[in-house]
A and B are shown apart, each in its own frame.
Chain A
C-alpha cells in the first residue's frame, strides 16, 4: 500500500513535470508575446523589459529558472514580499523570527504588472474551489438519489423519468444551461443575480450549471452499478438469510454499489476544470478559469504556466486519490 502510494505520487510529479515542459515550450513556440499588444515601443525599451523578466535568456534557462522558483524553497527575511517577482505561495516563519521559509513562487504576471501569479491564486483560487465544491454537492445531492431511486424502481416511471432527465443532463452543456438559467431566474423571475460574485445567491446558478451535467453522469452510473450489485449472489444470500430489505439496501447494496461511483471523481474534476472556463465566463465569476482564458489571449506566459499547472495538479491529484481509494473501498483489488 505504502509503496503503491509512493509510486503514484512519483507518477504525479512526472506528469506535472511533463505538463509543465510541454506547456512551456508550446506556449513559447507561439509567436507574439505579452508586450505585443501595447503601443509600439522602441526596440531598446522592449529589450529592457524582456531583460527585466528574463525573457531574453535561452528557453531552457528560462524553464529551469521557472521550475526552480516553484519547487525550491528559499529562506528570506520575514515580512511581505518585496516585489511581485518574489511572491511565494507558502511562507513559514522559522523559529527565532529572523527568517522565513518560502516555497512556490509562480512569478509576476507579465500583463497585469502590479500583481503576481501567486496573488491571483490567492484571490481567484478560493472562488473556483468554492464553485467546484458547490457544483459537486449539487451533483451528488441530485445524482445519487436519482440513481438509487431509478435502480430500486427499475422499469417503472421513476426509472424512465430519472434516466430521461439524466440524458437531458448530459446533453445540456454549461453554455446551454447557463444562459437559460440566467434568463429564467435572473431576467424573468428576478430571483437570483444574473452574474457576479460575493453572496450565496451568486453561487446558486453557476454551481447548478456546473453540477447538473455531473449529476446526470452520477445518476446513470449509480443506477448501473446498483443494478449490477442487486444481481450479485451475496444479495441473494442476504435475502435468503431473512435480512430486512432496508438492511440489505444500506448494508449490502449501497455500500458495494457506491464503489464505481467513486471512480467518476477523476472525470468530474476534469469536467469542473473545463466547465469552469465557460461557467466563470458566463456568470462573470472572478475565478481561475476566467484568468486562464484571459491569459491565453494576453500571452501572459507566467499566468498560463501557473494556471495550467494548477489545473493539471487538480486533475492528477483527483485521479491519484481515486486510484488509492479504489483499492481501499474494494479489497478485491490489489496494488501491484
Chain B
C-alpha cells in the first residue's frame, strides 16, 4: 500500500491566497454567498423576505390585483363592509335587512330566531314542472308545451340552407319553409340552431268565421273547426279537445283531466274558473291538477295549462327542447331567500325583515293587558303590556303569544357589499387602495436607502480616506445635521421643494422635478426629503469602516503598486466595507417607511387621491368610533411590512456579521 497523496481540487484550497475583494477565489463560498446561505437558514428572515416579495408583487401587479381604481368613488357604498369584517368587529353591527317575499312562500314567522343560512322565503312554489312529456316552444312573451302525442315537425338545416321563413313566422300548411320542404300543418316557425321546428297552431280567432265545433268537444285531426268568410275551412291539425272562449277557438293538445260527477253531487266550483290542485270540487273529491275547470253534464273537465307567461327569469328550458313529464320548466328556487346573518325575523306584509339586534320580548298570557297596537312605534319607557315598558326605541309587533319590539335600525351601520375589505368614507375599495398604498411604502423602502447611499457613502468615503482637516470639517457638518430633528427638516424641505417647483417656469430643472412629484402623487419629494435627511448615519458608518480599512495591508499594497486614489477606493476599500453599509441601510428601511407614513398621516405626505397607508389610517381614524376597519386594515398592512423589514434586517445583520448577533 502506498501512501498515495493526491490533492483533489476541493482540498487544494489551502494553498491559495484568499483575496478579500474577490469572493470566488476564497474556495468554498464567497462572502455574499456565505451570507445568503446563513440568511436562508434564518427562518424569521425568510418569513420577512417572503412577506416583502409578496408585497412587491402586489405593488407591481396592483392594476391586476386591485379590482377598483384608487379613486373609484361609490358613495352609496360608503363605509360598507363585507360580512366577515362585520363579524370581526363587534361595533360594526349589521343593519336590518329587508327581503321582498312577494310571490314566495314565507317560511318564518314574526319573532322567530334564525341562524345564518336558514331558508326564509321559498320561491320554489312557483316552480313549474311539465305535466306531460313534449316539446317546449318559447316566443317573446310566452312559453308553450306541446305534448309528445303530437308529432312535431322538425327539419334539420345547415348553415347554407336558404330559409324562406324566419323565426316566429306564421305559416299555413303547404307553405314553403326552405327548398322544397313545406309546412305539414298550420303553425309557427321556430328556428333553433340548425333545426326548423314547427309549433302547431292551436288558437284561432272566432270573429273571422263560423264556428263548427262546440266547447269541450273532442276532435280528430282533419275535423273542420271554422269556416271562414271566404269559404276556407280551418281543420284541426291534430286531435284534441276544443275550448271555445269568448274570442277564440282553442285546441288543447294535452288531454284534460276529467272527473266524473255522480248525480246529486253538490258542485262547489264555478264554471270556467281556475281551480287549484287539491281544491274541493264536490263532496270530498278534490281537483287532481291546477287548471281551468269546466262543468259538463256528468263530469268536470279541468283543462291542463299549455302556455304560460314568461316572468323574470327562472325558465330552465330552451326553445324547441324536448322534455319528459316532471321536468322543470320554470325553476325560481334561486330566488329563495336565506338568512345572511343570525337574528330575529319580522314579517311585514310582503316583506321579511331580519334584524341582528337584540329584540325585546314579552310573553303574553291570556289576561295580559296590551297598551300598544301592532306595528306601533314606541320610544324607551313607553308602556307595552301589563307593567312592562319598552327598553329600546322601535316598532312593536304583537303576535298571539308574544309582544316584540324591533329596535329602530341605527342609520350608520354598514351595508354588506362585494368589496373584500369594505369601502372607505367615499365608497372607495379599501383593498385596492391598500394594494396601491403598498407602492408608496415600498418606494420609501427602496428610494430612501438609495438617496442615502448616493449621498452618504461617497461622503463617508472621502471623509474617511483623506482624514485630517477634511475629515474633521466634514464630520462636524454631519454632527450638525445629526442634531436637526429629521422629521422637521423633511417637512420643511418638502414644503420648500413643492412650492418652489410650483412657482418656477416650465423647462427648468426644478420644474421637471415638480412634474415628477405631481406624476407620482407627491411621493418623489417626500423621498428626496427623507433621503437628504438620513444620509448622515451612513456617512458616519462608511467613514468608520474606511478608517479601519485604510490601515490594512491590501490598501498599503495597492498604494505601493501605484494605484490611484479612486481605484483604491472603488476596487479595494468599497467592496470590503459593503457589508456594514448594507446592514445599516436595511435596518433603516423601517424608519423610512415610518417617516413616509407619519407624513402622510399628518397630511403633509402624498397628495390625495394617491393612497398611502398613512393617509388611509388618518382617514380611518376620523371614523374609528363607527368603522374601525377603515383605520385598522391599513394599519395592519403597515405593521406587516415594517415587521418584514425588521426581520430581514436582523437576519441580514446576523448573516453578514455574525459577531453582531443578538446586539441591538
Given that A183-B632, A188-B90 are known contacts, is A316 also in contact with B493, CB under 8 Å in the complex?
no
Q: How far is the CA of A182 from the CA of B625 in the complex (A)?
A: 9
B500 engages A30 (CB within 8 Å) = yes
Quick check: is B483 within 8 A (CB to CB) of the other chain?
A: yes
Q: How far is the CA of A173 from the CA of B641 in the complex (A)?
A: 11
A167 engages B643 (CB within 8 Å) = yes
B638 engages A23 (CB within 8 Å) = no
By a CB distance below 8 angstroms, the chain B residues around A282 are 621
Within the complex, the shortest CB–CB distance from B631 to chain A, in Å, comes to: 4
Q: How far is the CA of A170 from the CA of B491 in the complex (A)?
A: 23
Scoring B residues 589 to 623 as 1 if CB is less than 8 Å from chain A, else 0, what string do you get? 01000110110011110000000001001101100
Given that A183-B624, A277-B602 are known contacts, is A167 also in contact with B650, CB under 8 Å in the complex?
yes
Quick check: is A141 within 8 A (CB to CB) of the other chain?
A: no
Q: How far is the CA of A30 from the CA of B362 in the complex (A)?
A: 69
Quick check: is A293 within 8 A (CB to CB) of the other chain?
A: yes
Q: Could you write out 8 A-B pairs with CB less than 8 Å apart?
A: A15-B483, A167-B646, A183-B89, A187-B624, A194-B624, A297-B604, A312-B485, A312-B488
Quick check: is A308 within 8 A (CB to CB) of the other chain?
A: yes
A31 engages B502 (CB within 8 Å) = yes
Given that A277-B598, A278-B602 are known contacts, is A26 also in contact with B492, CB under 8 Å in the complex?
yes
By a CB distance below 8 angstroms, the chain A residues around B621 are 175, 178-179, 182, 282
Quick check: is B91 within 8 A (CB to CB) of the other chain?
A: yes
Quick check: is B137 within 8 A (CB to CB) of the other chain?
A: no
Scoring B residues 464 to 496 as 1 if CB is less than 8 Å from chain A, else 0, what string do you get? 000000000000000110011111110111011
By a CB distance below 8 angstroms, the chain A residues around B598 are 173-175, 274, 277-278
Secondary structure call for the A interface: helix
B499 engages A32 (CB within 8 Å) = yes
Within the complex, the shortest CB–CB distance from A63 to chain B, in Å, comes to: 15
By a CB distance below 8 angstroms, the chain A residues around B480 are 14-15, 18
Within the complex, the shortest CB–CB distance from B503 to chain A, in Å, comes to: 5
Quick check: is B639 within 8 A (CB to CB) of the other chain?
A: yes
Quick check: is A94 within 8 A (CB to CB) of the other chain?
A: no
Q: How far is the CA of A311 from the CA of B502 in the complex (A)?
A: 29
Quick check: is B301 within 8 A (CB to CB) of the other chain?
A: no
A224 engages B635 (CB within 8 Å) = no
By a CB distance below 8 angstroms, the chain B residues around A273 are 485, 487-488
List CB contacts (< 8 Å) of A304-336 with chain B. Answer: 308, 311-312, 315-316, 319
By a CB distance below 8 angstroms, the chain A residues around B602 are 277-278, 281, 293
A30 engages B499 (CB within 8 Å) = yes
Scoring B residues 23 to 62 as 1 if CB is less than 8 Å from chain A, else 0, what string do you get? 0000000000000000000001000000000000000000
B485 engages A172 (CB within 8 Å) = no
Quick check: is A220 within 8 A (CB to CB) of the other chain?
A: yes
Scoring A residues 253 to 282 as 1 if CB is less than 8 Å from chain B, else 0, what string do you get? 000000000000000001001100110011
A29 engages B500 (CB within 8 Å) = yes
B635 engages A175 (CB within 8 Å) = yes
Among B503, B625, B632, B664, the residue within 8 A (CB) of A220 is B664
Q: How far is the CA of A27 from the CA of B493 in the complex (A)?
A: 9
Q: How far is the CA of A277 from the CA of B625 in the complex (A)?
A: 22
Given that A167-B650, A293-B602 are known contacts, is A179 also in contact with B486, CB under 8 Å in the complex?
no
A residues neighboring B (CB under 8 Å): 11, 14-15, 18-19, 22-23, 26-27, 29-32, 167-168, 170-176, 178-180, 182-183, 186-188, 194, 217, 220-221, 223-224, 227-228, 270, 273-274, 277-278, 281-282, 292-293, 296-297, 308, 311-312, 315-316, 319
Q: How far is the CA of A103 from the CA of B492 in the complex (A)?
A: 28
Q: How far is the CA of A132 from the CA of B486 in the complex (A)?
A: 18
By a CB distance below 8 angstroms, the chain B residues around A224 are 662-664
Residue of B91, B483, B487, B495 with most chain A CB atoms under a 10 A cut-off: B483
Scoring B residues 283 to 322 as 1 if CB is less than 8 Å from chain A, else 0, what string do you get? 0000000000000000000000000000000000000000
B496 engages A312 (CB within 8 Å) = no
Within the complex, the shortest CB–CB distance from B24 to chain A, in Å, comes to: 34
Q: How far is the CA of A296 from the CA of B491 in the complex (A)?
A: 8
Among A179, A220, A228, A270, the residue within 8 A (CB) of B617 is A179
B604 engages A296 (CB within 8 Å) = yes
Within the complex, the shortest CB–CB distance from A99 to chain B, in Å, comes to: 36
Quick check: is B628 within 8 A (CB to CB) of the other chain?
A: yes
Quick check: is B244 within 8 A (CB to CB) of the other chain?
A: no
Within the complex, the shortest CB–CB distance from A11 to chain B, in Å, comes to: 8
By a CB distance below 8 angstroms, the chain B residues around A228 are 663
19 additional contacts (CB under 8 A) given A175-B617, A188-B91:
A22-B489, A30-B496, A32-B499, A167-B44, A167-B650, A171-B590, A172-B642, A173-B597, A173-B638, A173-B639, A175-B618, A176-B635, A176-B642, A179-B617, A186-B625, A187-B91, A270-B486, A274-B485, A312-B483
Quick check: is B647 within 8 A (CB to CB) of the other chain?
A: yes
Residue of A168, A175, A281 with most chain B CB atoms under a 10 A cut-off: A175
B632 engages A180 (CB within 8 Å) = yes
Given that A31-B500, A167-B650 are known contacts, is A194 also in contact with B485, CB under 8 Å in the complex?
no
B500 engages A176 (CB within 8 Å) = no
Within the complex, the shortest CB–CB distance from B237 to chain A, in Å, comes to: 75
Residue of B nearest to A172 (CB): B639
By a CB distance below 8 angstroms, the chain A residues around B89 are 183
Q: How far is the CA of A325 from the CA of B378 in the complex (A)?
A: 71
Residue of A nearest to B484 (CB): A19
Among A23, A168, A174, A315, the residue within 8 A (CB) of B643 is A168
B628 engages A171 (CB within 8 Å) = no
Q: How far is the CA of A292 from the CA of B499 in the complex (A)?
A: 19
By a CB distance below 8 angstroms, the chain A residues around B646 are 167, 170-171
A308 engages B601 (CB within 8 Å) = no
By a CB distance below 8 angstroms, the chain B residues around A174 are 598
Residue of A183, A188, A217 with most chain B CB atoms under a 10 A cut-off: A183
Q: How far is the CA of A270 from the CA of B489 in the complex (A)?
A: 13
B485 engages A281 (CB within 8 Å) = no
Q: How far is the CA of A278 from the CA of B293 in the complex (A)?
A: 80
B492 engages A179 (CB within 8 Å) = no
B625 engages A187 (CB within 8 Å) = yes
Within the complex, the shortest CB–CB distance from A333 to chain B, in Å, comes to: 17
B493 engages A26 (CB within 8 Å) = yes
By a CB distance below 8 angstroms, the chain A residues around B487 are 273-274, 277
Among A18, A171, A220, A293, the residue within 8 A (CB) of B642 is A171
B485 engages A315 (CB within 8 Å) = yes
B632 engages A31 (CB within 8 Å) = no
Residue of A nearest to B663 (CB): A224
Q: How far is the CA of A224 from the CA of B659 in the complex (A)?
A: 12
Within the complex, the shortest CB–CB distance from B8 to chain A, in Å, comes to: 39
Within the complex, the shortest CB–CB distance from B623 to chain A, in Å, comes to: 11
Within the complex, the shortest CB–CB distance from B342 to chain A, in Å, comes to: 19
By a CB distance below 8 angstroms, the chain A residues around B44 are 167
Within the complex, the shortest CB–CB distance from A224 to chain B, in Å, comes to: 4
By a CB distance below 8 angstroms, the chain A residues around B625 are 186-187, 194
Q: How far is the CA of A175 from the CA of B639 in the complex (A)?
A: 10
Q: How far is the CA of A227 from the CA of B489 in the complex (A)?
A: 37
B496 engages A315 (CB within 8 Å) = no
Residue of B nearest to A292 (CB): B488
A293 engages B604 (CB within 8 Å) = yes
Scoring B residues 208 to 237 as 1 if CB is less than 8 Å from chain A, else 0, what string do you get? 000000000000000000000000000000
By a CB distance below 8 angstroms, the chain A residues around B650 are 167
Q: How far is the CA of A179 from the CA of B89 in the complex (A)?
A: 14
Within the complex, the shortest CB–CB distance from A311 to chain B, in Å, comes to: 5
Q: How far is the CA of A168 from the CA of B90 in the complex (A)?
A: 25
By a CB distance below 8 angstroms, the chain B residues around A187 are 91, 624-625, 628
Residue of B nearest to A11 (CB): B479
B662 engages A227 (CB within 8 Å) = yes
Within the complex, the shortest CB–CB distance from A155 to chain B, in Å, comes to: 10
Residue of B nearest to A163 (CB): B662
Q: How far is the CA of A186 from the CA of B631 in the complex (A)?
A: 14
Within the complex, the shortest CB–CB distance from B62 to chain A, in Å, comes to: 22
Residue of A27, A171, A186 with most chain B CB atoms under a 10 A cut-off: A171
Scoring B residues 498 to 515 as 1 if CB is less than 8 Å from chain A, else 0, what string do you get? 011011000000000000
By a CB distance below 8 angstroms, the chain A residues around B620 are 179
Q: How far is the CA of A172 from the CA of B639 in the complex (A)?
A: 6
